[in-house]
């Protein structure tokens, strides 16, 4: 048992549901007790999703405990099959069903014999993997299922011919992902600039029937380390497809990523269209003139950031990229870089080696909080949790990674990847630091306004007495509205020509004034 208030990565089934509901026309059925379908609320609220989330629960209740859930699960699958005609139904186990140890695979087999949809059981162990690992696995599972099905239908292993012009699959765009929609748009733009065709984007907006086209692409691109690597490795193993897994976040990393793509393309280019590609001029032009970040790091603004101390914490992709941007592109001193992805700690340590003073790998937010309190950075780049730690310690924080709140699902265009992403990040960094500086200066010079506000009440000569009870009642009211309520009550009392305010008067005032 572990005492916990907050967790960075969610439970496994959330990962599976994120994959399933990112695809078009895929329905997930959770084997779960009442109330576990909280995922639907998150998707509907955070993503402001217009469509009903394609996730339903096959409810585990007392009856199920007594008799097993076999009939119920099979019925629910059959029913959903009729109602919505999905291409695929993913039966999703939860922590509860893991303990029940029912043979869910058997239910899936039974249900799939007479359903129009394909039915699979998500292969995740709730107690061994977290949200991100589960998403990675489920995505690979679905891709493998459809490719194997395709091969089986053709009776022999046939390799798809590659497309005429260089093409790519983007693997790992998700619902509820941190700025994923904006990143996806930015990446598509990047590929268009480079003359690379986007073959398939999975899972977001993808269609399972199109998965068979995956091998047509020249290479795969995995923008985020947490989810998609397993799929890319599977495709490399089975179809010999190379993949690029360098996240194009920051000017240097974006260039690196583009050079890796160039290598992938030049692997096949001579054979297919007899030309080699050279992206160096593109990288040079973008770096110097499209992205403002390279110029920014030269400018006087950024000079002032030199040697400022920062802390970075987040998922491996964003925390590693951010650490490198701060250290090598802006001259900021990263005193501590950390991640909550404990399963991928080695990769993270290797990435940030040489770019930070210390590394912290933990999923305990109190440890992160203690570290921040100890090193007292000038700014924090982390998740929502770090933002709140920053609030408490009065240190500005830029949010760079999930878990996030609704304000990290902006309506405006805010990619973190690609050349536009570098501009966004420069703004984020600069705003975090200058705001901190501004506050500091204000404090030194004694605040904006040196004149003290004497009173905020309408009348300064209050002739009204508040009895003890009403005063206690007044104190129960949250501070930010207390003044208003006090004023309104006194106004009411004056109208009624009462000179002693009691609790009754307070309530009467509320009733009268809200009317």
Partner 1 sequence: MLSSPTSETLTFECETGNYHTFCPISCVAWLYQKIEDSFFLVVGTKTCGYFLQNALGVMIFAEPRYAMAELEEGDISAQLNDYQELKRLCLQIKKDRNPSVIVWIGTCTTEIIKMDLEGMAPRLEAEIQIPIVVARANGLDYAFTQGEDTVLAAMAHRCPVHYAAENEQGEHGQALEGLLSALPTTEHTHSTLLNTQAPLVLFGSLPSTVASQLSLELKRQSIQVSGWLPAQRYTELPSVGEGVYVCGINPFLSRTATTLMRRRKCKLIGAPFPIGPDGTRAWVEKICSVFGIEPQGLEEREAQVWASLKDYLDIVRGKSVFFMGDNLLEVSLARFLIRCGMLVYEIGIPYMDKRYQAAELALLQKTCQDMNVPLPRIVEKPDNYSQVQRMRELQPDLAITGMAHANPLEARGISTKWSVEFTFAQIHGFTNARDILELVTRPLRRNNSLESLGWAGLVKNKTDQSYT
204 scored as a contact of partner 1 (CB under 8 A): no
> Among the candidate windows 32-40, 160-168, 280-288, 440-448, which touches partner 1 by CB under 8 A?
32-40
Q: Is the distance from CB of 69 to CB of 54 less than 8 angstroms? A: no
Tell me how far, at minimum, the Cβ of 390 lies from partner 1, in Å.
Answer: 11
- Site size with partner 1, rule: CB under 8 A: 63
- 177 known member of a binding site: no
Identified binder of partner 1 from the candidate list 24, 25, 44, 197, rule CB under 8 A: 44
Q: Pull the structure tokens for residue 58.
A: 């096959």
What are the backbone angles phi and psi of residue 292, rounded to the nearest 5°? -90, -5
| DSSP class of 408 | G
330-389 residues near partner 1, rule: CB under 8 A: 385, 388
Residue selected from 118, 140, 344, 473 as contacting partner 1 according to rule CB under 8 A: 473
Residue 430 CA, chain-centre distance (Å), reads: 22
Return the residue of 24, 110, 349, 510 that touches partner 1, per CB under 8 A: 510
Task: Identify residues 106-145 at the interface with partner 1 (CB under 8 A).
Answer: 126-128, 130
- In 3D space, the residue among 433, 422, 425, 392 whose CA is nearest the CA of residue 310 turns out to be 433
The answer to whether the CB of 316 falls within 8 A of the CB of 226 is yes
Q: Which is nearer to partner 1, 96 or 151 (CB)?
A: 96
Q: In whole angstroms, what is the distance from residue 170 CA to residue 418 CA?
A: 14
- 35 binds partner 1 per the rule CB under 8 A: yes
Is 372 exposed, middle or buried, given 0-12, 13-18 or 19+ CB atoms closer than 10 A? buried
C-alpha torsion angle, residues 355, 358, 361, 362 (rounded to 10) = -140
Q: Which is nearer to partner 1, 263 or 481 (CB)?
A: 481
Give me the least distance between CB of 508 and partner 1, in Å please: 9
Quick one: 57 exposed, middle or buried, by C-beta within 10 A (0-12, 13-18, 19+)?
buried
* Residue 395 and residue 377 in contact, taking contact as beta carbons nearer than 8 Å: yes
Give the strand pairing for 243-244 and 356-361: unpaired
The smaller minimum CB distance to partner 1, of residues 290 and 485, is found at 485
Q: Which of 116, 285, 289, 507 binds partner 1 (CB under 8 A)?
A: 507
Please state the closest distance from residue 118 (CB atom) to partner 1, in A.
Answer: 21
Closest CB 9 distance from partner 1, rounded Å: 9
CB 105 within 8 A of CB 47: no
Q: What is the DSSP letter of 165?
A: S
Least distance from C-beta 100 to partner 1, angstroms? Answer: 6
Separation of alpha carbons 376 and 373, rounded Å: 5
Alpha-carbon distance values, 110 to 75, 103, 145 (Å): 10, 11, 17
Identify residues 49-108 at the interface with partner 1 (CB under 8 A).
49-53, 56-62, 65, 76, 83, 94-96, 99-100
Instruction: Provide CB contacts within 8 A for 102, sequence distance 6+.
Output: 31, 68, 69, 70
What single DSSP character describes residue 161? P
Pick the closer one to partner 1 by CB: 83 or 367. 83
Q: Measure the CA–CA gap between 283 and 251, rounded to whole angstroms.
A: 9
> Among 39-47, 102-110, 220-228, 429-437, which window interacts with partner 1 (CB under 8 A)?
39-47
32/135 with CB nearer partner 1? 32
CB 337 within 8 A of CB 375: no
Q: Which is nearer to partner 1, 175 or 424 (CB)?
A: 175
d(CA 171, CA 174): 9
Residue 346 annotated as binding site: no
Task: Give the residue among 356, 384, 360 at the shortest CA–CA distance from 372.
Answer: 360
Determine which residue in the list 7, 393, 437, 498 makes contact with partner 1, applying CB under 8 A.
7
Q: How far apart are CA 101 and CA 329, in angstroms?
A: 52
Which of 61, 114, 123, 301 is catalytic? The answer is 301
Only one of the segments 6-14, 85-93, 220-228, 335-343 lies at the binding site for partner 1 (rule: CB under 8 A); that segment is 6-14
Q: Any contact of residue 515 with partner 1 (CB under 8 A)?
A: yes
- From the CB of 476, what's the least distance to partner 1, in Å? 6
Residue 123 a catalytic site member = no
What is the phi-psi region of residue 56: left when phi exceeds 0, alpha when psi lies from -120 to 50, beta otherwise?
Answer: beta
Q: Judged by CB under 8 A, which stretch of 34-42, 166-174, 178-186, 237-245 contacts partner 1? A: 34-42
Q: Cβ 114 to partner 1, closest distance in Å? A: 20
Of 34 and 453, CB closest to partner 1: 34
Task: Please report how close the Cβ of residue 375 comes to partner 1 at its closest, in angstroms.
Answer: 20
Helix, strand, or coil here: 31?
Answer: strand
439 is in an annotated binding site: no
Binding residues for substrate: 436-437
Binding residues for [4Fe-4S] cluster: 36
Binding site for partner 1 (CB under 8 A): 1-7, 10-11, 13-14, 32-38, 40-42, 44-45, 48-53, 56-62, 65, 76, 83, 94-96, 99-100, 126-128, 130, 385, 388, 391, 405, 473, 476-477, 503-504, 507, 510-512, 514-515
- Write out the catalytic residue numbers: 301
Binding residues: 36, 436-437
């Amino acid at each position: 048992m572990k005492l916990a208030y907050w967790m960075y990565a969610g439970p496994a089934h959330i990962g599976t549901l994120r994959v399933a509901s990112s695809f078009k026309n895929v329905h997930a059925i959770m084997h779960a007790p009442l109330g576990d379908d909280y995922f639907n609320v998150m998707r509907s609220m955070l993503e402001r999703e217009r469509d009903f989330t394609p996730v339903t629960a096959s409810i585990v209740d007392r009856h199920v405990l007594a008799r097993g859930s076999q009939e119920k699960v099979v019925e629910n699958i059959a029913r959903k099959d009729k109602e919505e005609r999905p291409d695929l139904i993913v039966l999703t186990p939860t922590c509860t069903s893991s303990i029940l140890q029912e043979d869910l695979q058997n239910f899936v087999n039974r249900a799939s014999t007479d359903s129009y949809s394909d039915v699979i059981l998500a292969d995740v162990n709730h107690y061994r993997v977290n949200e991100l690992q589960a998403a990675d696995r489920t995505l690979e599972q679905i891709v493998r299922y459809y490719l194997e099905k395709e091969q089986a239908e053709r009776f022999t292993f046939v390799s798809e011919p590659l497309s005429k012009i260089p093409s790519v699959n983007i693997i790992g765009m998700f619902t509820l992902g941190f700025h994923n929609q904006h990143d996806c748009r930015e990446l598509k733009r990047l590929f268009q600039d480079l003359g690379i065709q986007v073959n398939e984007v999975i899972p977001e907006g993808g269609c399972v029937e199109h998965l068979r086209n995956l091998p047509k692409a020249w290479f795969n691109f995995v923008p985020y380390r947490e989810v998609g690597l397993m799929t890319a490795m599977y495709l490399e193993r089975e179809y010999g497809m190379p993949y690029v897994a360098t996240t194009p976040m920051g000017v240097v990393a974006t260039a690196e990523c583009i050079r890796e793509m160039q290598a992938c393309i030049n692997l096949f280019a001579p054979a297919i269209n007899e030309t080699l590609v050279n992206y160096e001029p593109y990288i040079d032009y973008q770096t110097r003139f499209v992205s403002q970040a390279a110029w920014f790091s030269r400018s006087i603004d950024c000079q002032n950031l030199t040697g400022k101390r920062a802390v970075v914490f987040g998922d491996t992709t964003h925390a590693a990229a951010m650490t490198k941007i701060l250290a090598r592109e802006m001259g900021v001193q990263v005193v501590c870089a950390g991640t909550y992805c404990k399963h991928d700690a080695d990769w993270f340590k290797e990435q940030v080696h040489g770019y930070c003073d210390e590394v912290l790998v933990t999923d305990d937010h109190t440890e992160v909080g203690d570290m921040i309190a100890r090193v007292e950075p000038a700014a924090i780049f982390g998740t929502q949790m770090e933002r709140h730690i920053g609030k408490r310690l009065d240190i500005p924080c830029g949010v760079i990674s999930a878990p996030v709140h609704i304000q990290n699902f902006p309506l405006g265009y805010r990619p973190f990847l690609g050349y536009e992403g570098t501009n966004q990040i420069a703004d984020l960094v600069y705003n975090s630091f200058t705001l901190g500086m501004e506050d500091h200066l204000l404090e030194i010079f004694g605040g904006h306004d040196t004149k003290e506000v004497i009173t905020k009440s309408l009348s300064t000569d209050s002739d009204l007495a508040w009895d003890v009870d009403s005063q206690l009642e007044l104190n129960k009211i949250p501070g930010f509205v207390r003044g208003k309520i006090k004023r309104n009550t006194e106004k009411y009392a004056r109208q009624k020509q009462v000179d002693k305010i009691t609790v009754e008067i307070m309530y009467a005032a509320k009733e009268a004034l809200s009317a």
